[in-house]
Structure 1
Amino acid sequence: MDEAIASHLEQVRAHRAELGDAMAALDAALALPVGLGPVWRRRVRAALTELAHDLRDHVDLTEAPGGLYDDLRAHAPRLSREVDSRTAEHVELLAEVDRLLGERDDGLEGDEAVAAHREATTALIGRLVRHRQRGSDLVFEAYEVDLGGSG
């Protein structure tokens, strides 16, 4: 592995940790009692906003020209389909984050809307967990590098 991609993988590892922290913060906010009303809403909104920022950074970093995904395609063309799948997941995950942020901005009227928002946001965290697992497996298969499971 050349020095440039090794350096890039270090950036990916650092951003991976930030995204993991944002996911944990959102999970913690969602675990608060909904009965807290405005406090619950503010905490979830803040955590979801941070997650959106970190997810966008992750996408920018992995999909940057000459970055990780370009190197994976060049270094391990057999994995191109997996790279394409991760890229497609990025589109879906960003769309869901934007939808959830928009839903919050439009307001959640009534208990059913709040419960549905909580459920959809919890499902998003699960999707992100699986995306990170597949991404970690992809990098390991190509470079035999562990991105780290704690971040």
Structure 2
Amino acid sequence: MGGTQPSSTDAWSLQVARRHRAALLHEIHLFEHAIASPSADPGWRQRVGTRLRTLRGAFAEHIVVTEGEDGLYAELLAHAPRLHRRVQMLTREHAAIAVSMSAMQRRADLPGSRVDELRRCGGEVLRALSRHRQRGADLVYDAYETDIGGET
């Protein structure tokens, strides 16, 4: 499926998206490390909560960068309106992932929450983020035939 090459304005938008994508990935890795670290450590729950709060902030910024009036999705749709349904799906995923993160934050902030429950919720959040990031990269590629970054 062919796309059009981005203009210089779009190239700037893609650069911004790449920077935010890398920052979000960094926060994902830090959260993953926190949730997988030994829970017997007295600071485990606090670290998980802190990392989750930071991840939520990075994800909120991702939403602004993609969904904003001058965001990536607006520019992408100007070039490839055929991808409207996929953009809507990613936008719905934003809301669902944000809700999942908020629910996990509430659990993490409760002293009585079980470690296995927090890890299960954390794993669900990580899987949802991974799928979302891949779908976003596929969308950009389909629109522009440009790889936004397949970093691991």
Q: Identify whether the pair has TM-score above 0.5, normalized to the shorter chain.
A: yes
- Kindly state the Cα deviation for residue 33 of structure 1 after the two structures are TM-superposed: 1.2
> Where in structure 1 are there 5+ consecutive unaligned residues?
none
State, as a whole percentage, how many aligned pairs show the same letter: 37
5 Å-filtered alignment, 1:1-80, equals 1-36=6-41, 38-80=42-84
Aligned partners of 2:64 and 2:71 also within 8 Å: no
Please give the per-residue CA displacement for 1:60-94, whole angstroms capped at 9, x wherever unaligned.
00001022111222211111000000000000011
Runs of 4+ in 1 over 3 A off after TM superposition: none
- Kindly state the Cα deviation for residue 103 of structure 1 after the two structures are TM-superposed: 2.0
- Using the alignment, how far apart are the partners of 1:97 and 1:5 within structure 2? 31
In the alignment, residue 32 of structure 2 is paired with which amino acid? D
In the alignment, residue 98 of structure 2 is paired with which amino acid? L
> Where in structure 2 are there 5+ consecutive unaligned residues?
1-5
Larger helix share, 1 or 2: 1
Aligned partners of 1:13 and 1:147 also within 8 Å: yes
TM-score, length basis structure 1: 0.92
Measured on the aligned residues, the alpha-carbon RMSD in Å equals 1.3
Total equivalences in the alignment: 147
- Kindly state the Cα deviation for residue 15 of structure 1 after the two structures are TM-superposed: 0.5
TM-score, length basis structure 2: 0.91
Q: State whether structure 2 residue 147 is matched by structure 1 residue 146.
A: yes
SS in 2 for 1:149: coil
